Amino acid sequence: MSFRHAIETTISTHLSDLDQSLIELSIPRYEHGDFALNIAFKLSKIQKKNPMLIADEVVQQLTQTSDVLHISQLSGFINIKVDDNYLIKYMSEFMLSSPKWDKDPSILLEYVSANPTGPLHIGHGRWAVIGDVLYRLLQAVGGNVKNEFYVNDAGNQVKTFEASIHAIKNGQSIPENGYGGPFIDTVVAEKPDDVTSIDYVIECHRQSLETLDCKFDRWFKESTLHQSDIIQIIQDEYPDLIYKKDGAVWFKTTDYNDDKDRVLQKDNGDLTYFACDIVYHLNKINRKYDHIINIWGADHHGYIERIRAAILAKKESVTFSVILGQLVNLFKDGEPIKMSKRTGNLIELDDVIHEIGVDATRYFLVEKRPDLPLDFDMTKATMTSMDNPVYYIQYAHARICSLQKKCEGLPEGAHTAINDADRKLMVHVCRYYDVLLDASNSLEPYKLPQYLHELASLFHSFYQKCPVIVDDAITPHRIAILSAVQKVIQHCSGILGISTPEKM
RNA sequence: GCGCCCGUAGCUCAGCUGGAUAGAGCAACGGACUUCUAAUCCGUAGGUCGAACGUUCGAAUCGUUCCGGGCGCGCCA
């Protein structure tokens, strides 16, 4: 059980006469306590009584928990400090447990899904890392989750791409709106004869992503959908929502909150992307996923409602979430790098990883909320390596390993008297599963680096103030703290995909 | 014009289902290595939370209207 949940349960049982939905713990500043309850304010509205008086009554009821919780009141706020013995006990039990989600949907995460007509760039890297961390996070809480890369290996862009390759190979000029640049030249030069250029690019994508430690359970090719008649499938699945107008075939998304209906098949017989995407998402539904999560660039946000319409029209119980990400602006030496896919003037994802390393690349790409544009300065990420948060975290881990080596053979245990730096660190360790569950529920992987950085910071402070090797009374306790912190750093770094060196 | 996202310290951002004195990191300034790794720590300074109204015991958080920035509004992919 997570720390917060454990405390909440204790409190609920002692306040069973009150509306349980009002019992919600918040985290106050450390001086006030480990948790706080603002139920007095909420009740005062209902009961029309002075919140201070209500708080007094609640505190009165909670005094029975005094062996576990220390309750106090400050101008209506009920502050809760967890007893040190309970902290120690929780921490040692926590060491043996795993976080567990209270739900078990079957989840499909789809992300990156770059067109196989060019190399991956830093923006793809952002989706890849956010998606991958989310994937690992959901697995860590026991979620039933798969991830998938959708390959657009059909359609006009692909034809143009192949025509461009063909032209370059034969020394002809690149067709209008075709593809050129160093990446294409490499494809022409290095592609073996027995693979298609599209498959070769897909393989390049796979390798770039594996360099970043991002693996996919499935690479879903759009071309496999075209083995069936797309329009026929949609016709069969949505007989009431499909109609013909002006020579085109339309889908009635306006029945589901969209602001206009959308075309499935143009009057020239070509299918739109939307038609293929409907069938792709039908495929996801047919594979019995309860929760479909897509990570898309912010420029696709207009697309959400129509896909949602198609999904809900088929199966209302499916949860459809889209994580919208703003693009990444790449900088070097403080100067923005302009990128154009067509001309091939492009810094590839591989270049970035090569220059700043997997750990730093992953950390910086997942650290911020995805709905904020990200300025990614390659020079800064390498030059300021001394102040790099990645090293800060890794250094904490290395320090622990070094201490553990020195403590080899010494007993590990717990004692009662602890000071503030000990305690702050322990409380933060205990909150780890709360953070995992919170980040899972909200699909917000960026909360992890935040937590981990804070943990490292508390550890470094602890390191300064709390010598481990002192005497028989204190040393075993601090060794126990070291193990707990180490476990959390390793576990959390594992989700972020960042290495934890033993020496630095 | 319409829709979505964003506006918090010099910079990059947390905090947003209403709660206590608005928090970090970087940059700046001042301290701490004969003592478990100074890739560290401790301290100082830094704010009309874009603006104005409104809702109420209480607003960075909710509502309305502006201002500023990003992105979309195809029978493109």
For A440-460, the DSSP string reads HHHT-TTHHHHHHHHHHHHHH
Nucleotide nearest to A374 (CA to C1'): B12
Nucleotide nearest to A78 (CA to C1'): B20
CA of A417 to C1' of B37 (A): 27
User: Beta-carbon neighbour count of residue A353 at 10 Å?
Assistant: 20
Give pLDDT tens digits for A348-362.
999 999 989 999 999
Nearest amino-acid residue to B25, taking CA and C1': A389
CA of A454 to C1' of B11 (A): 21
pLDDT band at A26 (very low <50, low <70, confident <90, very high): very high
d(CA A21, CA A19): 6
CA of A384 to C1' of B11 (A): 15
CA of A293 to C1' of B22 (A): 34
| Mean confidence (pLDDT) of chain A | 91
d(CA A45, CA A22): 12
Nucleotide nearest to A372 (CA to C1'): B6
- Give the per-residue pLDDT at A386: 61
Sign of the torsion formed by the C-alpha atoms of A73, A77, A80 and A81:
negative
Nearest amino-acid residue to B36, taking CA and C1': A403
How deeply is A205 buried, as exposed, middle or buried, from its count of CB atoms within 10 A (0-12, 13-18, 19+)?
buried
Q: Which domains does chain A have, with CATH numbers?
A: 3-82 (3.30.1360.70), 104-225+326-383 (3.40.50.620), 386-496 (1.10.730.10)
Give pLDDT tens digits for A200-254.
999 999 999 999 999 999 999 999 999 999 999 999 999 999 999 999 999 999 8
* Mean per-residue pLDDT, A1-5: 91
| pLDDT(A112) > 80 | yes
Check: CB of residue A443 under 8 Å from CB of residue A451. no
Bigger pLDDT: A378 vs A368: A368
For A32-64, the DSSP string reads G-SEEE-HHHHHHHHHTS-HHHHHHHHHHHHGG
Nearest amino-acid residue to B58, taking CA and C1': A41
Q: Angle between the A182-190 and A197-211 helix axes, to the nearest 10 degrees? A: 110
- Give the per-residue pLDDT at A50: 85
Check: CB of residue A116 under 8 Å from CB of residue A202. yes
Q: How far is CA A11 from the centre of its chain?
A: 31
Q: Lowest-confidence range among A3-12, A251-260, A263-272, A311-320?
A: A251-260
**Chain B: bases < 7 Å from a protein Cβ:** 3-6, 12-15, 17, 19-21, 23-27, 35-42, 57-58, 70-77
CA of A464 to C1' of B43 (A): 15
- Give the per-residue pLDDT at A463: 96
Give pLDDT tens digits for A133-152.
999 999 999 999 999 999 99
- Give the per-residue pLDDT at A452: 97
Give pLDDT tens digits for A445-465.
999 999 999 999 999 999 999
CA of A259 to C1' of B3 (A): 10
